[in-house]
């Protein structure tokens, strides 16, 4: 392979970039908040990462085309629910444009906090610190306030499909 072929200009940069990002496996999360009307809102996300340990911070990327974009861009409490492998139907529901994404989820919501999904491997309660413009997405910078974890296998998104992580005995 020649060196030039690795970085050759692309006729369709957007399509090739999407293909490249599909090669990057990511944990599947559902990001939630409650609107001023008390109604819960949420979206599926794989662009989620830790930012800082001191203080604990994380970020989530959200498409500006999302139906709940304006709500999250100005949200206070936000929860990042890291889904278990068995929660694929939950991920699919929150990735789709359905009206009541929370129906049948059994979500929990304490006063002043964002909704938490039962069965998630982790639920991280946060407060939005800042919303950063990033092309057709925004980056939600979040200050971590509380964390709940549970054992289990994560739900992974890779190659434009949901996958299970095959855990090996690490002795």
Q: Is residue 166 part of a domain?
A: no
Does the pLDDT at position 1 exceed 50? Answer: no
Q: Is residue 169 part of a domain?
A: no
State how far the Cα of 35 lies from the Cα of 32, in Å rounded to an integer. 10
pLDDT score of 165:
79
User: Who contacts 40 (Cβ-Cβ below 8 Å, separation ≥6)?
Assistant: 32, 33, 34, 102, 107, 109, 115
- In this predicted model, what pLDDT tens digit does every residue of 143-156 receive, in sequence order? 999 999 999 999 99
Total structural domains in the chain?
1
Q: Select the more confidently predicted residue: 68 or 46.
A: 46
Q: Helix (H, G, I), strand (E, B), or coil: what is residue 13?
A: helix
For residue 37, give its domain range. Answer: 26-156
pLDDT band (50, 70, 90) for residue 67: confident
Does the pLDDT at position 110 exceed 80? Answer: yes
pLDDT score of 12:
85
Rounded to two decimals, what is the model's pTM? Answer: 0.90
Q: What is the domain-level CATH number for residue 109?
A: 2.30.110.10
Q: Is residue 143 part of a domain?
A: yes
Q: Is residue 5 part of a domain?
A: no
Q: How far apart are the first and last CA of the chain?
A: 39
Tokens of 93: 């529901």
- In this predicted model, what pLDDT tens digit does every residue of 114-163 receive, in sequence order? 999 999 999 999 999 999 999 999 999 999 999 999 999 999 999 999 99
State how far the Cα of 86 lies from the Cα of 153, in Å rounded to an integer. 8
């Amino acid at each position: 392979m020649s060196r030039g072929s690795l970085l050759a200009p692309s006729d369709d940069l957007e399509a090739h970039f999407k293909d490249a990002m599909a090669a990057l496996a990511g944990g599947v999360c559902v990001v939630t908040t409650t609107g001023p009307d008390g109604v819960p809102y949420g979206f599926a996300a794989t662009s989620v990462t830790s930012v800082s340990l001191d203080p604990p911070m994380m970020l989530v990327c959200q498409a500006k085309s999302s139906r709940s974009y304006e709500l999250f861009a100005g949200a206070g409490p936000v929860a990042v629910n890291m889904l278990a492998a068995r929660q694929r139907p939950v991920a699919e529901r929150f990735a789709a444009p359905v009206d009541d994404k929370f129906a049948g989820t059994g979500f929990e919501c304490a006063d002043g906090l964002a909704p938490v999904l039962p069965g998630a491997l982790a639920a991280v309660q946060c407060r939005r610190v800042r919303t950063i413009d990033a092309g057709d997405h925004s980056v939600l910078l979040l200050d971590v306030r509380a964390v709940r974890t549970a054992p289990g296998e994560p739900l992974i998104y890779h190659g434009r499909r949901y996958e299970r992580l095959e855990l090996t005995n690490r002795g």
